[in-house]
Amino acid sequence: MKEPNALRDVDARILGEAMLSEEGMAVLRTLCDVHGSRFAGTRDEWRAGDFLLERMLACGLSRVHAEPFPFLAWRRGRTPTLQVVGPCKLSLDCIALPYSPATAEGGVGLEAVNVGEGLPEDFARQRRDIRGKAVLASNESPGYYHRWVHRAEKYARAVAAGAKAFIFMNRLEGLLPETGSARFNRRGEIPAVGVSKETGARLVSLLREGPVRLHIETHDSFARGRSRNIVGEFPGTEHPDEVVVVGGHYDGHDISQGAADNASGVATVLEAARLLAPHRGLLKRTVRFVCFGAEEVGLLGGAAYVAHHAAEMARTRLMVNLDCIGNDRGKGFDFMGWDEAKAPLIAMAREMKQDIVFASRPNPYSDHFHFMVAGVPICLLGNVGGTPKGRGYGHTAADTLDKVGRADLREAAALLARSLLRFANDRAWALPHKSTAEVRRILDRYELIDVMKAEGTLPKALR
C-alpha cells in the first residue's frame, strides 16, 4: 500500500541535513567536556544553561528565556568510609548517593543484611531481620518481575523497615558504583552509599559465612539551590496557542559527564530545532523546546514547568520527552498508557517510510511525568518496547562522551524533527487529554500508585 507523503521534499532536506551534520555532536561535546556533570544547583549547571540559551538563539527560536526555580540542593562532602570491622578488617570503596544525610561525627557501627534485588517481596520476607541494620540491595530489576523496581523504592522500603543505612550495589562489572538520588528534593532519613558490583560481591560473600559488622561514615550536606528550565519556541502559524512541548533534562550526576543521560537527549532536542528552523513556516501549532534543570534530583524541572504553565496544560497537545536517546536498536516512542497513539503512529511510520517502534508502558521517573499528572498526552523517544534491564553505564563515572554514537544522535534528531512536523500539524495527533481518574488507572495497572506511595513521591493531585 502506498501512503502519500505531502512532506516528501521537506523530509528529504531534513534527513540529508541531519546525516551530514556535526552540530549535534558539537553540542554534546560542549555539554560534556566544557560543562562537566551539570549537577543540579552547581555553577556547571548554570553555565550549561547559559550555553543552551545561546544555542537556542542561534537556532532561530523565538521567546528564548530561562525559568528559574528553587529547590533543596545536596552537596557532596568528603569521600565516605565503608569498612568491614568483623569478622575481618576491610576498607571498601563507595560513594554517597544524593540526599544521603551525614552520619554523626565518627560514623556508625552496624550489622549488614543482604536483601538481594530488593523487590517488595524481599523486604516483606526479611522484614524482621532489617531493623537497625545496613541494608545491601542490588540495582538489579530482574526480567521476570512485572515492572521496574527503582532505587528510590528500595531505599524507601529499607527506611520503612527500620534500616539504619542503605548500600546500593551495581550489577554491572568494572569497579563502577552507581549513583542516583535516595530521596527526591528532600533530606534522606538514613545514609545511602553506592558500591561497585565487585565490592558488593565481596560483602555478599562474607554474609554467606555469617554476620558482618560495618563501620559507615558520610559527610554530605544540604543547601538552598537554584536551577532553571531553558525555553524557546517556533510559534504556530494557524493555532499559536496550541503547543507541542519537546524537551529533555540537561543536568547530570556529579560523578560523570552524564553523556547518554542526558546530554544526548538535549543535543538531540537542539539539533531537531536546528533541522526544523528552515521549515518553521510550515508549523501550524507552536513547538516549544525545553531543556529541563534538576531532573536527577527529583524531576524538578518538569514539575516547575507544569506549575508555571498550568493555565496552558489544556492547550498542550503533546509532550515529547528525550531522556537517553539509546543505541542502535530500533528507535520509537513510548506513549505510556495513551494507547490511542498506536493507530496514528503506524500511519505516520508508513507515510515517513521508517520503522518506528510503538510502546505504551508508563514510568514515573523522568520529566514527562508531571505532564502526565496534568492529563497531557506524553511520549518518550528512544529505544522503547523492550524490558528495561537497568541503566547500563548511566549514573556511573563511565557515562562519558565516547558512549554516544554519532549515527544514533543523527537518527534520533531526524526522527524527532520529522515527527514534530506531524505532531504539530496532523489532525490525527489530537490525542485525548486524560482525567485524573484515568491517569490513576494507567499508573495503577503497573502498581505505580502503590510504589509512589511507598516512595513518598505520589503527587497531591493523585492522592
Instruction: Give the count of beta carbons closer than 10 Å to the beta carbon of residue 347.
Output: 14
Check if the beta carbon of residue 218 is closer than 8 Å to that of residue 80: yes
Minimum separation from the CB atom of position 324 to Zn ion (A): 6
Minimum separation from the CB atom of position 249 to Zn ion (A): 6
Q: Report the residue number, 139 or 262, with the smaller CB distance to Zn ion.
A: 262
Q: If we measure between CA atoms, which residue out of 323, 293, 319 comes closest to residue 391?
A: 323
Q: Report the residue number, 178 or 261, with the smaller CB distance to Zn ion.
A: 261
Q: Report the residue number, 225 or 394, with the smaller CB distance to Zn ion.
A: 394
Q: How long, in residues, is the chain?
A: 463
Q: Report the residue number, 283 or 380, with the smaller CB distance to Zn ion.
A: 380
| 203-228 CB burial, b ≥16 within 10 A, e <16 | bbebeeeeebebbbbbbbeeeebebb
Minimum separation from the CB atom of position 248 to Zn ion (A): 8
Minimum separation from the CB atom of position 250 to Zn ion (A): 10
Question: 126 exposed, middle or buried (CB, 10 Å; 0-12, 13-18, 19+)?
Answer: middle
Report the alpha-carbon distance of residue 290 to residue 270 in Å, rounded.
Answer: 9
Check if the beta carbon of residue 145 is closer than 8 Å to that of residue 119: yes
Minimum separation from the CB atom of position 260 to Zn ion (A): 9
Q: Report the residue number, 163 or 336, with the smaller CB distance to Zn ion.
A: 336
Q: Which chain residues interact with Zn ion by CB under 5 A?
A: 261-262, 323
Minimum separation from the CB atom of position 40 to Zn ion (A): 12
Q: If we measure between CA atoms, which residue out of 253, 274, 376 comes closest to residue 324?
A: 253
Report the alpha-carbon distance of residue 145 to residue 342 in Å, rounded.
Answer: 25
Minimum separation from the CB atom of position 323 to Zn ion (A): 4
Q: Report the residue number, 261 or 271, with the smaller CB distance to Zn ion.
A: 261
Q: Report the residue number, 101 or 247, with the smaller CB distance to Zn ion.
A: 247
Helix (H) or strand (E) holding 378: strand 378-383
